[in-house]
């Protein structure tokens, strides 16, 4: 969408999409909070119950680009509503089925809906807001995800402890169903329906080394970010002394700091090169994770480290999506954002595996050093590497008023990428 005709109320439209992201994020994060209850209910170990998270993440990573390609010709509203409906059905099924195997299968269904929604939500918000407000629009959608860390997951966990874990699944389904009529009635249709192309053209983005750079950096940096988050209870056990209350406070603090980092990065990504933001955040995380083993025993120090890591970790999300959308040709944004989401959820899966190996090999206290090494590699990939400048490295000039409906006098910003043939289907 061009900035020559900016839409009215783009913030409201992004906020509606953020509500959907809140539902999806709550589902992704709340399972960890009710794993013991799930394990008791379906008569498996907590470790086996934890595979619900792994299955969800892998299914999300694999299905996001496939489903985006299959629905490329659909109106975005239809895709988003269908996605939330599938997501709700998956969670209702999780609440109803009796056995472990069936519960695993229902997580695949929920992941399919989540994958369809998240990748399209970011692309839709960016298209409705216009190029110069892309970062702000993405950060509003991601605000729904970070808010789920602060509100959704804790509420779902408390509900599960009171009424059983299956009530948590009903809660997540209800959140999704509330958003469906809002999207149907309030969201305008963006102009990002793809033209018909063959499979070779669909896969063309994977031949673009700029796209591969962003995806590879996403995979490495989020693997590093999610290792300490996934095993936060083990890493800071000396500081919390096994107190669930103190651990919950760490998690809530991380969510609040992540929200602040996301909003800050959204503002910055429209003004300075997003790749620079990612490199700086990765370097900051390298230092934070490197010193984490030294301060894991004192709770005040642990709290401070969580604040810094939350801000820096979620300063990466919006700039990375900003870059990937800037590289997309006309109508190709949903496919590229789905590839980004695939890399992100693959990173979450890898973080669980690598972190588990780290606990066995180097012990709880040294696991953050593995994360420090990964985010340092990501900093180098983002800041050096010898790639030519990407379309996302120089954001368009900010508009004087974000919600203005007036037409700018200059609609030929020199740093806007030229249109290319669509990679999408």
| For residues 153-178, average pLDDT | 86
pLDDT at 138: 80
| pLDDT tens profile 77-111 | 899 999 999 999 999 999 999 889 999 999 999 99
| For residues 249-272, average pLDDT | 85
Give the ranges where 270-332 is alpha helix by DSSP (H): 274-291, 299-313, 317-326
| For residues 383-408, average pLDDT | 46
Computed over every residue of the chain, the mean pLDDT equals 80
Q: How far apart are CA 28 and CA 394, in angstroms?
A: 33
Helices 274-291, 299-313: crossing angle, 10 deg rounding: 160
Residue with tokens 């960016």: 126
Residues 184-207: b if buried by 16+ CB within 10 A, e if exposed: eeebeebebbbeebeeebbebbee
Domains, the chain, in order of start with CATH, read 7-191 (1.20.1250.20), 204-395 (1.20.1250.20)
Q: Is the pLDDT of residue 181 over 90?
A: yes
pLDDT at 404: 39
Tokens of 208: 């673009």
Report the candidate in 358, 349, 243 with the shortest Cα–Cα distance to residue 292: 358
| For residues 215-223, average pLDDT | 93
| For residues 156-170, average pLDDT | 84
Per the rule left: phi > 0, alpha: psi between -120 and 50, beta: everything else, 166 is: alpha
All residues at 6 or more sequence positions from 315 whose CB lies less than 8 Å from its CB, including other chains: 261, 262, 264, 265, 277, 281
Q: How confident is the model at residue 278 (pLDDT cuts 50, 70, 90)?
A: very high
Burial level of 132, CB count in 10 A (0-12/13-18/19+)?
Answer: buried
Q: Is the pLDDT of residue 289 over 80?
A: yes
pLDDT at 423: 36
Instruction: Find out whether 140 and 262 touch, Cβ atoms under 8 Å.
Output: no
Instruction: Find out whether 180 and 85 touch, Cβ atoms under 8 Å.
Output: yes
Q: How far apart are CA 359 and CA 417, in angstroms?
A: 45
| For residues 147-160, average pLDDT | 78
C-alpha pair distances (Å), 138 with each of 84, 164, 255, 329:
19, 35, 18, 18
pLDDT at 51: 79
Tokens of 191: 């102009």
| pLDDT tens profile 23-39 | 998 888 788 777 778 88
Q: Is the pLDDT of residue 382 over 60?
A: yes
């Amino acid at each position: 969408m061009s900035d020559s005709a900016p839409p009215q109320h783009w913030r409201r439209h992004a906020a509606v999409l953020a509500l959907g992201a809140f539902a999806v994020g709550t589902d992704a994060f709340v399972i960890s909070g009710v794993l013991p209850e799930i394990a008791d209910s379906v008569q498996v170990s907590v470790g086996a119950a934890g595979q619900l998270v792994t299955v969800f993440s892998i299914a999300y990573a694999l299905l996001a680009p496939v489903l985006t390609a299959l629905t490329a010709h659909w109106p975005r509203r239809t895709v988003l509503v269908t996605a939330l409906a599938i997501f709700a059905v998956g969670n209702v099924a999780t609440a109803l089925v009796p056995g472990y195997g069936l519960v695993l299968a229902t997580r695949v269904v929920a992941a399919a809906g989540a994958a369809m929604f998240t990748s399209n939500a970011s692309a839709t918000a960016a298209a409705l807001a216009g190029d110069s407000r892309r970062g702000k629009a993405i950060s509003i959608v991601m605000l729904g995800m970070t808010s789920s860390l602060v509100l959704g997951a804790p509420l779902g966990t408390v509900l599960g402890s009171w009424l059983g874990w299956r009530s948590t699944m009903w809660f997540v389904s209800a959140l999704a169903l509330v958003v469906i009529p809002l999207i149907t009635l309030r969201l305008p249709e963006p102009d990002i329906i793809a033209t018909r192309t063959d499979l070779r053209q669909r896969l063309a983005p994977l031949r673009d080394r700029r796209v591969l750079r962003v995806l590879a950096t996403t995979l490495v940096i989020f693997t590093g970010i999610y290792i300490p988050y996934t095993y936060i209870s083990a890493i800071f056990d000396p500081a919390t002394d096994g107190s669930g209350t103190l651990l919950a406070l760490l998690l809530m603090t991380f969510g609040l700091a992540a929200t602040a980092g996301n909003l800050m990065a959204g503002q910055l990504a429209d003004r300075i090169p997003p790749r620079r933001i990612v490199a700086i955040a990765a370097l900051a995380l390298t230092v934070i994770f490197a010193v984490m083993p030294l301060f894991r025993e004192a709770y005040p120090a642990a709290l401070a480290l969580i604040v810094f890591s939350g801000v820096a970790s979620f300063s990466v999300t919006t700039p990375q999506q900003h870059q990937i959308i800037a590289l997309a040709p006309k109508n190709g944004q949903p496919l590229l954002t789905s590839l980004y989401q695939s890399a992100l959820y693959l990173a979450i899966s890898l973080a669980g595996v690598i972190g588990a190996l780290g606990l066995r090999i180097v012990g709880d206290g040294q696991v953050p050093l593995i994360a420090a090494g990964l985010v340092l590699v990501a900093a180098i990939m983002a800041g050096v590497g010898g790639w030519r400048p990407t379309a996302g490295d120089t954001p368009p000039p900010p508009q004087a008023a974000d919600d203005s409906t007036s037409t700018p006098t200059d609609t030929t910003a020199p740093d806007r990428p030229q249109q290319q043939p669509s990679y999408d289907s």
